[in-house]
């Protein structure tokens, strides 16, 4: 419920090397202090500029969420790890943590940080995986109909685990059958 564009320059000051944006460099740098680059960069609306720490990749897109999901989908398509998708009304994070602790004894495992289980969190989970990871465990949450299917299109899970299905989403879906 916030606009990530508002945090770009803070992230750059903390070491971010690039970002996706739906705004031009001129829009992003207007009235901001400590913005890397020069006036000619802002004037030309280029897709990248230089900062004191080296190249700063600025990728301008029409829709940041769609671009983030497309990037995650492509990374997943090129990955060799097996994926486990976890969903349910309750117990996703506990189940993920338990499963990770068991599998990590034999495999290199990456799992959803915290509860990053939505249309933004899942792509970030996929993009956070290492090329050496053998298993990725991802939580899949929903707030409305069709969201699990959308997340599965990005993740393409090899295995799915459904925890308890309960009345948590009745207000949006109407019945436990529609939730399941």
Q: Mean pLDDT across the stretch 126-153?
A: 94
| Contact present, 133 and 110 (Cβ < 8 Å) | yes
User: What CATH number was assigned to the domain covering residues 65-179?
Assistant: 3.40.1190.10
Q: Which of 4-13, 114-123, 134-143 has the lowest mean pLDDT?
A: 4-13
Q: Mean pLDDT across the stretch 53-57?
A: 69
Q: How confident is the model at residue 169 (pLDDT cuts 50, 70, 90)?
A: low
| Contact present, 156 and 81 (Cβ < 8 Å) | no
pTM above 0.85, yes or no: no
Work out the angle between the directed axes of helices 121-128 and 64-78 (0-180°, nearest 10).
Answer: 40
Task: Encode pLDDT of 107-126 as tens digits.
Answer: 999 999 998 999 999 999 99
Residue 59: in which H helix or E strand, if any?
Answer: strand 54-60
Compute the distance between CA of residue 116 and CA of residue 125 in angstroms, rounded to an integer: 7
Could you list the beta-strand ranges (E) of 108-180. 109-111, 135-139, 159-162
Q: Is the pLDDT of residue 92 over 80?
A: yes
Ranges of CATH 3.40.1190.10 domains, the chain: 65-179
Average pLDDT, the chain: 84
Residues of the chain with pLDDT > 90, as a percent, come to 52
β-partners of residue 137 are 84, 111
């Amino acid at each position: 419920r916030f606009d990530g564009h508002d945090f770009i320059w803070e992230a750059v000051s903390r070491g971010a090397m690039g970002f996706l944006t739906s705004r031009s460099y001129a829009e992003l740098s207007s009235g901001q202090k400590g913005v890397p680059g020069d006036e000619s960069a802002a004037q030309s609306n280029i897709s990248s500029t230089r900062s004191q720490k080296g190249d700063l990749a600025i990728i301008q897109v029409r829709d940041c969420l769609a671009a983030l999901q497309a990037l995650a989908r492509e990374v997943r398509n090129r990955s060799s790890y097996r994926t486990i998708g976890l969903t349910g009304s309750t117990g996703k994070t506990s189940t993920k943590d338990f499963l990770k602790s068991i599998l990590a004894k034999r495999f290199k495992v990456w799992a959803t940080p915290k509860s990053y289980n939505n249309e933004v969190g899942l792509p970030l989970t996929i993009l956070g995986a290492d090329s050496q990871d053998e298993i990725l465990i991802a939580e899949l949450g929903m707030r409305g109909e069709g969201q699990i299917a959308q997340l599965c299109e990005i993740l393409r899970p090899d295995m799915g685990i459904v925890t308890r299905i309960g009345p948590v989403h009745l207000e949006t879906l109407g019945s436990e059958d529609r939730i399941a």
